[in-house]
């Protein structure tokens, strides 16, 4: 019954499984689906990390490459995203081991998005992220516009 309920009414299934686990009735629990859901939750946290990094990197790229458009709302967005990332990593400290790869993935997306949002060619932006994670997260870090050639 549990497995069928999983496909028909996830909310009811989740509540049922929580009750079974709390009661110590592991033999009645839908362990396979519970394991899948726990794995999915972990993947969701990593996706959230990449999403927040993408937003931060996008805003930092726009800050650097569109200095005439800088304003308080951009500064606030960057500060809020830094705070959200700090909170997310505090809640999920093991994600720090995935930071390097996550920043690489997020930067590729942010670079593409920056090109789409600004109308600049993607080649305008560095091919790889030129900031360290600690720089990105530093509340005093605001990238300067590149020198004109």
> Is position 75 within any domain?
yes
User: How many domains, the chain?
Assistant: 1
Residue 79 is assigned to a structural domain of this protein: yes
Q: Is residue 89 part of a domain?
A: yes
Domain that residue 105 falls in: 44-137
Domain-embedded: residue 17: no
Dihedral sign (CA 58, 85, 140, 99)? negative
Query: Tokens at residue 130, please?
Result: 């030129």
Q: Give the Cα separation of 21 and 15 in Å (integer).
A: 10
pTM of the entire predicted model: 0.85
Residue 37 lies in a domain: no
Cβ-based neighbours of 106, under 8 Å, separated by 6 or more: 50, 51, 53, 54, 56, 57
Instruction: Give domain status of residue 131, yes or no.
Output: yes
For the stretch 74-99, pLDDT in tens is 999 999 999 999 999 999 999 999 99
The answer to the question of residue 16 being in a domain is no
Tell me the pLDDT tens digit for each residue of 35-76.
999 999 989 999 999 999 999 999 999 999 999 999 999 999
Give a yes or no: residue 74 inside a domain: yes
Angstrom distance (rounded) from CA 59 to CA 42: 26
């Amino acid at each position: 019954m549990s497995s069928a309920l999983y496909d028909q009414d996830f909310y009811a299934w989740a509540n049922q499984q929580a009750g079974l686990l709390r009661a110590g009735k592991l033999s009645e629990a839908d362990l396979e689906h519970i394991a899948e859901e726990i794995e999915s939750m972990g993947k969701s946290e990593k996706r959230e990390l990449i999403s927040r990094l993408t937003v931060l990197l996008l805003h930092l790229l726009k800050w650097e490459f569109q200095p005439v458009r800088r304003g308080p709302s951009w500064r606030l967005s960057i500060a809020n995203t830094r705070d959200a990332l700090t909170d997310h990593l505090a809640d999920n400290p093991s994600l720090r081991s995935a930071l390097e790869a996550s920043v690489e993935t997020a930067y590729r997306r942010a670079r593409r998005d920056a090109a789409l949002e600004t109308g600049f060619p993607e080649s305008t932006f560095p091919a790889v992220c030129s900031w360290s994670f600690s720089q990105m997260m530093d509340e005093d870090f605001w990238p300067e516009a590149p020198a004109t050639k």
